[in-house]
């Protein structure tokens, strides 16, 4: 999992119990059998969640890059995206994942990239890594970034059932000056996910506050 230059973590979504399932020993010489569903372990720690919040605040205090100082060509930024979230109407959750943004400052001025290693948090504690990834598409104009991150993610619910959500996150931000001109990006992350055009059991998620994304060059 990549990290930001200043130790920000990757985006993660987590829900339910984490770690390996408990086992029941049925008798001498009998292999243990799982007593609960397998839940993918989270790929981030609580320390990394706190580091993400710190990086958001740090980059928010930097200056926006002047149009005359914007990079030329295409620049890749690596970082994280995260937000508080409501899952199936219940608050207290959060999402956090790895973000890669490729920003074109010439030609079509497109924004492309991905959100991977998404984890689900509950009360700030990483619970499980979600399956799936999001594809980022959008554009930039004079250092303003407007992009969407879309894709199908999966979780294991408390009953051990795999559920899917068609997740869409809006990324709106600006290019910033961290160490050098135009070497960072930051902004807001808002959105939701539901069962739209998604087969099988589904779950709903709403990014309901404090959503942000951050990224820097050279991670």
Strands 144-156 vs 162-177: parallel, antiparallel or unpaired: antiparallel
The whole-number average pLDDT for the span 22-51 is: 67
The whole-number average pLDDT for the span 127-134 is: 97
Residue % of the chain over a pLDDT of 90: 76
pLDDT of residue 219: 64
CA dihedral sign, ordered 145, 79, 131, 158: negative
pLDDT, one tens digit per residue, over 20-34 is 333 333 334 444 445
- CA 18/CA 40 separation, integer angstroms: 7
The pLDDT confidence band at residue 107, using thresholds 50, 70 and 90, is confident
pLDDT, one tens digit per residue, over 189-205 is 999 999 988 888 999 99
Q: Which residues contact 191 (CB under 8 A, 6 or more apart)?
A: 149, 167, 168, 169, 170, 207, 211
pTM of the model: 0.83
- CA 53/CA 36 separation, integer angstroms: 33
pLDDT, one tens digit per residue, over 71-99 is 999 999 999 999 999 999 999 999 999 99
**b/e burial code for range 199-217 (CB count within 10 A of at least 16 → b):** eeebbebbbeeebbbbbbb
Q: Specify whether the backbone of 107 is left (phi greater than 0), alpha (psi in -120 to 50) or beta.
A: left
- CA 151/CA 134 separation, integer angstroms: 4
């Amino acid at each position: 999992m990549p990290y930001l230059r200043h130790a920000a973590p990757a985006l993660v979504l987590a829900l339910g119990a984490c770690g390996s399932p408990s086992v029941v020993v049925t008798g001498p010489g009998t292999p243990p059998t799982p007593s609960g569903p397998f839940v993918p372990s989270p790929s981030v720690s609580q320390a990394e969640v706190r580091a993400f919040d710190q990086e958001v605040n740090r980059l928010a205090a930097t200056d926006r890059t002047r149009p005359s100082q914007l990079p030329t060509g295409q620049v890749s930024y690596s970082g994280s995206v995260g937000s508080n979230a409501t899952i199936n109407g219940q608050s207290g959750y959060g999402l956090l994942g790895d973000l890669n943004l490729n920003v074109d400052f010439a030609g079509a001025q497109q924004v492309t990239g991905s959100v991977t290693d998404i984890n689900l948090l509950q009360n700030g504690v990483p619970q499980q890594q979600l399956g799936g990834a999001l594809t980022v598409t959008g554009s930039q104009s004079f250092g303003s970034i407007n992009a969407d991150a879309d894709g199908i993610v999966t979780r294991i619910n408390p009953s051990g059932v795999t559920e899917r959500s068609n997740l869409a996150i809006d990324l709106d931000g600006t290019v910033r000056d961290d160490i050098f001109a135009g070497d960072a990006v930051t902004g807001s992350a808002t959105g939701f996910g539901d069962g739209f055009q998604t087969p099988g059991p589904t779950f709903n998620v709403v990014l309901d506050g404090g959503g942000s994304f951050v990224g820097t060059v050279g991670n």
